[in-house]
Structure 1
């Protein structure tokens, strides 16, 4: 009971507690939209990470990919003169290429996923410095900024709409397609999946490529929000994404990674940060809260798996 519904109980308890403490501030539509808007980028990158965890692998490069993508997309537009409609898809394609490279190293070269993705991330840090050691802010067109800060549709900010579309697509892939069933089979029992004829390496490479695209999209949206390309701007999303995904794996299912659970995990972190901000908690509480959430998330996920096997 605790392993399946503990995260939902915790989220409900936080909402109730914050509402009691600040009834006219917390439980309002503007604040709800603010929470969703602030958590949208984390949800996108965490959803991509979910795909790699579903197939039983890790990707520690997603924060670095997001930072690199955010830097070069602004550079392509403001410094190199590429049209925005060409620069953004190109950066997403680069993100897919980086993820595919990580998948190749893991599946074909047989390098441990932690080492391979951490190495790729470190390379991207150097590549980012080589491209521009300083933030790129001059010459950023208004239409690029409008991607994140443009006029809301029916009162809903653009990042929320993009988040909904991305999560819906990944949910359909994972739950309603043959590829999604293969991914879950690979993550459940890789040898049985291989013996049943599933091309395990291709499935894993697809998961890594998806994570790369989601990370690149997150970096692009962040740069649009900031109005500049800044090296290392999105590195912090790595920890947030892992905390959200592991919290999500302990939601409704017995330790399985899934998109709906990831969204719940993201909301728990966002609601916690929002409440701390409303009550004026010192800044140092945020990393403490984030680290505690990660430990709790892994603990709940481990409990869920343990009792599922019992």
Structure 2
């Protein structure tokens, strides 16, 4: 009889622990990623769980991660920037155009792309901090300008 109470008590404790873990966003995200990886590995066993595929996934995520860390710093400071995606597209397009059309060496083209992104961010910060333009309006306007520039490059 005592064993039954102990097993029911263990079951309630494990359910409570699982419920507590699922309410935490970090654990829910990790569990979701693990489930997606397992399902994709079962559905595509020849292609998905390979070293080459995972290295490509991490390589493709590297740029997004760098941008996300920069955005996180802005959000922690209580600010935001709507033009980030357009700036990434413009700076990458500029570097690629310099390499392809003008045969600029890779390090120089990458430096030019990063310099353009830095200049755009500096202009945004200057107009927001010194001139006093609303950050949402300024970064939205810069997003449109830079997106147009990305389409032209």
Same fold (TM over 0.5): yes
Report the TM-score when normalising by structure 2: 0.69
Instruction: State which of 134, 138, 142 in structure 2 corresponds to 1:112.
Output: 134
TM alignment of 1:15-54, pairs within 5 A: 15-54=37-76
Q: Cα offset for 1:44? A: 2.5
What does residue 32 of structure 2 align with? 10
Q: Could you tell me how far apart the structure 2 residues matched to 1:93 and 1:6 are? A: 38
Q: Which fold has the larger relative contact order, with Cα–Cα distance below 8 Å and residues 6 or more apart in sequence?
A: 1
Give the conservation status (yes or no) of the 8 Å contact 2:127–2:138.
yes
What does residue 68 of structure 1 align with? 90
Q: Cα offset for 1:128? A: 4.3
RMSD: 2.5
Report the TM-score when normalising by structure 1: 0.37
Unpaired runs of 5+ in structure 2?
Answer: 1-20
Q: Could you tell me how far apart the structure 2 residues matched to 1:97 and 1:118 are? A: 16
Could you say which structure has the higher helix fraction?
2
Q: Could you tell me how far apart the structure 2 residues matched to 1:20 and 1:78 are? A: 41
Q: Cα offset for 1:30? A: 2.2
Structure with higher Rg: it is 2
Change (3 A) 1:34 1:75: closer
Unpaired runs of 5+ in structure 1?
Answer: 134-230, 232-310
Structure 1, residues 208-262: CA drift from partner, whole Å, max 9, x if none? xxxxxxxxxxxxxxxxxxxxxxx5xxxxxxxxxxxxxxxxxxxxxxxxxxxxxxx
What does residue 138 of structure 1 align with? none
Structure 1, residues 20-77: CA drift from partner, whole Å, max 9, x if none? 3333432222222122123222222222222222212111111211222123223434
Give the conservation status (yes or no) of the 8 Å contact 2:82–2:143.
yes
Q: Cα offset for 1:80? A: 4.9
How many residue pairs align between the two structures? 131
Q: Could you tell me how far apart the structure 1 residues matched to 2:64 and 2:34 are? A: 20
Q: Could you tell me how far apart the structure 2 residues matched to 1:32 and 1:120 are? A: 35
Change (3 A) 1:85 1:14: closer
